[in-house]
Amino acid sequence: MNTPLRIGMTGGIGSGKSAAAHYFAHLGATIIDSDQIAHQLTTSGGLAIPAIRQHFGTDYLTTNGSLDRQRMRERIFQDHVAKRTLEAILHPLIRAACWQQAQESAAAPYQIWVIPLLYEHPDWQENLDRILVIDCDEETQIHRVMQRSQLTREAVEQILRQQAKRIDRLSIANDVIVNIGDFAALQQQVDALHQLYLNRTPQNHHRL
Ligand X SMILES: CC(C)(COP(=O)(O)OP(=O)(O)OC[C@H]1O[C@@H](n2cnc3c(N)ncnc32)[C@H](O)[C@@H]1O)[C@@H](O)C(=O)NCCC(=O)NCCS
Ligand Y SMILES: Nc1ncnc2c1ncn2[C@@H]1O[C@H](COP(=O)(O)OP(=O)(O)OP(=O)(O)O)[C@@H](O)[C@H]1O
For 105-143, b/e burial (b = at least 16 CB within 10 A) is eeeebbbbbbbbbbbeeeebbeebbbbbbbbbebeebbe
Helix (H, G, I), strand (E, B), or coil: what is residue 10? strand
Judge whether 34 is annotated as a binding position: no
179 binds ligand X (CB under 6 A): no
190 binds ligand X (CB under 6 A): no
Q: What's the min distance (Å) between Cβ of 39 and ligand X?
A: 6
Judge whether 16 is annotated as a binding position: yes
Helix (H, G, I), strand (E, B), or coil: what is residue 207? coil
Q: What's the min distance (Å) between Cβ of 208 and ligand X?
A: 21
Judge whether 65 is annotated as a binding position: no
Q: Report the partner that residue 18 touches, choosing among ligand Y, ligand X, none (CB closer than 5 to 8 A by kind).
A: ligand Y
DSSP for 125-169, written as a single string: GTT-SEEEEEE--HHHHHHHHHHHSS--HHHHHHHHHHSPPHHHH
Enumerate the H helices of 62-137 as residue ranges: 69-76, 80-104
Q: Report the partner that residue 111 touches, choosing among ligand Y, ligand X, none (CB closer than 5 to 8 A by kind).
A: none
Q: What's the min distance (Å) between Cβ of 204 and ligand X?
A: 28
Residues 66, 140, 158, 162: which binds ligand X (CB under 6 A)?
Answer: 162
Q: What's the min distance (Å) between Cβ of 13 and ligand Y?
A: 4
Nearer to ligand X, 85 or 201 (CB): 85
The rounded distance, in Å, linking the Cα atoms of 139 and 48 is 34
Q: What's the min distance (Å) between Cβ of 155 and ligand Y?
A: 12
Q: Which helix (H) or strand (E) holds 190?
A: helix 183-198
Q: Report the partner that residue 8 touches, choosing among ligand Y, ligand X, none (CB closer than 5 to 8 A by kind).
A: none
Whether 131 and 174 have beta carbons less than 8 Å apart is answered as yes
User: How big is the site for ligand X, counted in residues (CB under 6 A)?
Assistant: 20
Residues 35, 59, 79, 168: which binds ligand X (CB under 6 A)?
Answer: 35
Nearer to ligand X, 126 or 206 (CB): 126
Pick the closest to residue 103 from 117, 89, 92, 113 (CA basis). Answer: 113
Binding residues for ATP: 14-19
Question: Which residues here bind ligand X, judged by CB under 6 A?
Answer: 13, 34-35, 38, 67, 69, 72-73, 76, 83, 86-87, 90, 94, 115-117, 159, 162-163
